[in-house]
């Protein structure tokens, strides 16, 4: 729920597809890239930044 406040729609799609959350399976970076129109390397970079962004958001929420 809080992730929707922190992530853009594209970032949510990437992280959900890569973990399989809300999908029938987890997708590989190349498959996600084809679905959203970017390279697999860019998907990997965004997935990495999303992971950091979520960790920072939840860390801040936990310290309140």
pLDDT score at 2: 64
* Nearest CA among 4, 14, 64 for reference residue 42: 14
Q: For tokens 């399976």, name the residue.
A: 25
pLDDT classification of 45: cutoffs 50, 70, 90: very high
Q: What's the predicted TM-score (pTM) here?
A: 0.82
pLDDT classification of 31: cutoffs 50, 70, 90: very high
pLDDT classification of 61: cutoffs 50, 70, 90: confident
1-5, 13-17, 30-34: segment of lowest average pLDDT: 1-5
pLDDT score at 19: 94
In whole angstroms, give the CA distance from residue 5 to residue 62: 16
């Amino acid at each position: 729920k809080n992730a929707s406040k922190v992530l853009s729609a594209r970032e949510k799609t990437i992280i959900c597809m890569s973990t399989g959350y809300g999908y029938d399976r987890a997708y590989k970076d190349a498959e996600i890239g084809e679905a959203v129109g970017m390279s697999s390397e860019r998907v990997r970079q965004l997935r990495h930044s999303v992971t950091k962004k979520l960790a920072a958001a939840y860390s801040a929420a936990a310290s309140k």
